[in-house]
Structure 1
Amino acid sequence: METSRFIDHFSEIWNNSSDRLPAFTNTYSDAEKREREALFSTYTDRFRELRKEGNAGSIDTEKFFRGLRSVMKQIYDYADESLELITNRAMIDASRDFYREARAFDSSLSREEIYQAMRNAWIMNGLQLLLGLPVRLTPSILAYSLLYPYSDNLLDARAVPVTEKVVFSRRFESCLRGKGKMGNNPREQAIEALVEMICQEYPRDRFLEVHQSLLAIHRAQTHSLRLCGCGNPPSTGEILRIGFDKGGSSVLADGYLVAGHLSPEISRFFYGYGIWLQLSDDIQDLEEDLADGTLTLFSAPENRTSLPELTNRTFHFGRAVMEDIKCCKDGVSKEFGKVILKSIELMLLQAAGLSSRFFPPDYRHRLEEFSPLGFDYLLEARKKGNPSRMKLITSLIDEVV
């Protein structure tokens, strides 16, 4: 599957995106922030009480999610229609089923590894919504999402020699093509089993595009090794194209594994959505990437002094990408597009706002106007180990399954 046309298309959108801070719908006074912070603290305290109660029995999941919906509405200003999409029974059940099936597949997986995989499963469940499909756990959602802790973590690990990564990548590609076996170690045997799980749902002879999309993300992952110091150092333009292809190909594969077939318009939208997710991840991982020497648009030495402008451009880029969500299911795409836009922009605001080492104070101060929680409060909460809204959900799932 050739993705260069997508890279060219979204590179043009990126280059034409403004580097000025965009307008935001909501601003929050200091008094409003304090009120929301008090509510969030109350809720996290109640969450700890629910966990203690769960040690003696089962947590009241309905009570938990009623509270979660209330907090997301009162703190983060999610509309009732949006909350119904992201906290309905089907989404909750799909998450619980994923956790159970992941544990059943490999009991040695850590909670952090399952959370890493579950993040991708949530994206795929969201794509089911956008395509008008029932929201549920499928064999391919489980298998593809679990490939992340097995394959990506090895390719990203700086302690693993380059030669070992290259040999592993070749074996993995042969396995994806159905022309070879993985190694005999537990990691590679698990990968082979997950690929077979996908093939059972989508046979190669009937779903060529599904398997081409898997090869496309594998190719993108292999090329991304250059961002981690493998091979010739990439230029600034290559950093952009490699990063775009890694993010875009991932969600494109998500889409094919959810639906089997995609229209050209939806394929392009999913690819752009994946790029925006990758950019937001890169901003959130900035400190870690700098420490590890991983190159992204944000960690590259030549871009270090223009982080505010790059972050502004990321906001504008995402808004341009989300305009194409209209190619998805009518009635759902508009509301779910609001959820995606609000969620990613909140992550971007808070990721930049909490990175005091890398973003100038005046820029962080401007961003803080649009954050419902103050950055000092969020920094203190992080030090105390208070859960984020996503970790609240995963912690609950861990308790009730």
Structure 2
Amino acid sequence: MDNLDTDTYFEFKTYEEFRKERLKLNYDCTLKLWYSLPDTLPTNDNNRVRRQTRKQQRARFRKIRHYLVYAILFKKTSLKKKIKSTVFRLWNETLNIPPSNDEFIRDLHQLMGRVTVEFCNRGRQYDPTISYEELFKAGRSVWFMSAFHLECNLPLSFTDSMLGYNMLYPYTDDLVDCNDISREAKADFAKIFHERLLVGEPTYDSQVHFDGKQSNVTELNLPSSLQAQANRIVKIFDMVKFIENDWRRGGEYEGVYMSLTTIHEAQMKSTLQHARTEDDYAPTMVQIEQISAEKGGASVIAAGFLLQGRLTRAQMAYLEYIGFGLQLIDDLQDLKGDMKNNHRTVFTQTLAEGRTLDAPTARLIQYCYCAPAYEKFSDDQRTVSDGETDVTLAQYVRVLMMMLSVLLVLEAASRLQKYYSRKFYRELSSLSPLRFHHLKLIHIEKRLWSLVQKHWFN
């Protein structure tokens, strides 16, 4: 990534050129790195890698528990500020991330809280039937988009395109991954949605602003194979209208729609990950790795385009790297469900081949710790340190994302003990800031989701 020109925009006249160059960049920033990494856990040579004794893990858990109790009990007293300052320092120490001033951490979480609450409110406003679980799944991407906003020193605000893109996740995934929908219907949807994303509606008018009210299902012109899915498809198309509110078609922001088309293609390609008993079809590990890298990277570069309209090659490279890592973390978290549905990921395929999860989990942790997390963009200037370091806002957020990613890997692995060798599981647990039997019960993302929505950090 060091030789990429940060000032060169990733822009092409045709989608075919965009797709070809994007796939080359994807491989260079994901699988090329993945294949080069050892399948053993990292050593302490990396200053972010920290091994813990059980005594240290127990002591940290007690400290976290005590200060969280104090924070709740004394929330409305004069001790509030002092206690939360201690909690913020404990946050940095637990995740092994650079120290920063309390005001920055509080402001960061308040910003995230406002964006999260607005996303939930507007999501329910558009679709009152959407479930808490669907909003939570979609909201995880909202957090990433917010983080990338900060990494690029952009003002953090919630936009129509953020709503549209993140609400696409529960709607399209349920349709594409559903085993009850025929292959014919999925193929028809793939063709129609590809056209809707890349070209737009025949009646598209850049002067028309979508008001956020659900469109009429009867206005859809769907083939017979998709009639049963009309209620879901109309919502999917409405999400594209939200995106069109922010990014006008036919101008300098065509990369937005090319990136959305790319993730749609990758999502449809992921259906090849479903092993079938009726015809003994099963994908190979090489196919699975390729699809995972393309899909993961595509989902994150699309988010980047929706935030800025245009991306440099360096930003694209960074997002491809991040996206593959997030995809693998998601796959490890969903391992039991994927096994039940015969969905092959790097992890379920490893088990299908009769091996433990030791090697891919170790390699994923190595991947999370790689140098791209420290990459700088040309506008990486604002400092948020506490005086002891010169860590910029972008650096802090990147390291925070890296260490949270490692923690999510550890949390997922802590619940999958029977799929690891005893020796590896014991060594893996030493990388955790808490004992595994505590970590597995926390549900980090859902706990943070709840705290942020409740403005706990205010």
Aligned AA (2:36) = N
Match of 2:246 among 193, 197, 201: 201
The two structures, once aligned, show a CA RMSD in angstroms of: 3.0
Does residue 14 (structure 1) correspond to residue 34 (structure 2)? The answer is: yes
Listed one character per residue, the Cα deviations across residues 136-168 of structure 1 (whole Å, up to 9, x for unaligned) are 111111110010111112212233333332222
SS at match of 1:372: coil
Contact conserved, 1:182 with 1:189, CA < 8 A, in 2?
no
Listed one character per residue, the Cα deviations across residues 191-246 of structure 1 (whole Å, up to 9, x for unaligned) are 11110111121112121111000000000000001112479533221111111101
Q: Which moved more, 1:337-346 or 1:171-180?
A: 171-180
Task: Name the structure 1 match of 2:212.
Answer: none
Match of 1:307 among 350, 357, 371: 357
Task: Name the structure 1 match of 2:61.
Answer: 37
Task: Name the structure 2 match of 1:348.
Answer: 409
Following the alignment from structure 1 to structure 2, what is the Cα–Cα distance between the partners of residues 313 and 140? 34
Contact conserved, 1:252 with 1:267, CA < 8 A, in 2?
yes
Contact conserved, 1:37 with 1:373, CA < 8 A, in 2?
yes
Deviation of 1:320 after TM superposition, in Å, equals 2.9
Aligned AA (1:258) = L
Task: Name the structure 1 match of 2:448.
Answer: 393
Task: Name the structure 1 match of 2:366.
Answer: 316
Deviation of 1:317 after TM superposition, in Å, equals 2.3
Contact conserved, 2:298 with 2:320, CA < 8 A, in 1?
yes
Aligned AA (1:333) = A
Aligned AA (1:14) = W
Match of 1:359 among 420, 428, 431: 420
SS at match of 1:305: coil
Match of 2:91 among 58, 64, 72: 72
Bigger helix fraction:
1
SS at match of 1:22: coil
Following the alignment from structure 1 to structure 2, what is the Cα–Cα distance between the partners of residues 178 and 171? 10
Contact conserved, 2:374 with 2:399, CA < 8 A, in 1?
no
Q: Which moved more, 1:281-290 or 1:200-209?
A: 281-290
Task: Name the structure 1 match of 2:100.
Answer: 81
Deviation of 1:349 after TM superposition, in Å, equals 2.0
If the length of structure 2 is used for normalisation, what is the TM-score? 0.76
Q: How many residues align?
A: 386
Deviation of 1:98 after TM superposition, in Å, equals 1.2
1:1-400 pair list within 5 angstroms: 1-2=18-19, 3-9=22-28, 10-24=30-44, 25-42=49-66, 69=88, 72-73=91-92, 75-81=94-100, 84=104, 87-176=108-197, 177-179=199-201, 183=222, 185-206=230-251, 207-229=253-275, 233-300=282-349, 301=351, 303-320=353-370, 322-323=372-373, 325-327=375-377, 329-330=379-380, 331-379=392-440, 382=441, 387-396=442-451
Following the alignment from structure 2 to structure 1, what is the Cα–Cα distance between the partners of residues 357 and 221? 41
Following the alignment from structure 2 to structure 1, what is the Cα–Cα distance between the partners of residues 322 and 357? 21
Task: Name the structure 2 match of 1:57.
Answer: none
Following the alignment from structure 1 to structure 2, what is the Cα–Cα distance between the partners of residues 345 and 262? 27
Q: Which moved more, 1:250-259 or 1:31-40?
A: 31-40
Listed one character per residue, the Cα deviations across residues 77-99 of structure 1 (whole Å, up to 9, x for unaligned) are 44442973584432221112111
Task: Name the structure 2 match of 1:58.
Answer: none
Unaligned runs of 5+ in 1: 54-60
Deviation of 1:26 after TM superposition, in Å, equals 2.0
Following the alignment from structure 1 to structure 2, what is the Cα–Cα distance between the partners of residues 22 and 345? 12
Following the alignment from structure 2 to structure 1, what is the Cα–Cα distance between the partners of residues 455 and 124? 13
SS at match of 2:343: coil
Q: Which moved more, 1:32-41 or 1:232-241?
A: 32-41
Contact conserved, 1:144 with 1:194, CA < 8 A, in 2?
yes
Distance 1:220 1:190, change over 3 A: same
Unaligned runs of 5+ in 2: 1-17, 203-219, 381-391
Distance 1:270 1:106, change over 3 A: same
Aligned AA (1:219) = E
Deviation of 1:101 after TM superposition, in Å, equals 1.2
Following the alignment from structure 1 to structure 2, what is the Cα–Cα distance between the partners of residues 263 and 88? 28
Following the alignment from structure 2 to structure 1, what is the Cα–Cα distance between the partners of residues 87 and 415? 23
Distance 1:64 1:278, change over 3 A: farther
Distance 1:302 1:110, change over 3 A: closer
Contact conserved, 1:27 with 1:369, CA < 8 A, in 2?
yes
Contact conserved, 1:325 with 1:333, CA < 8 A, in 2?
no
Aligned AA (2:100) = E
Distance 1:201 1:399, change over 3 A: same
If the length of structure 1 is used for normalisation, what is the TM-score? 0.86
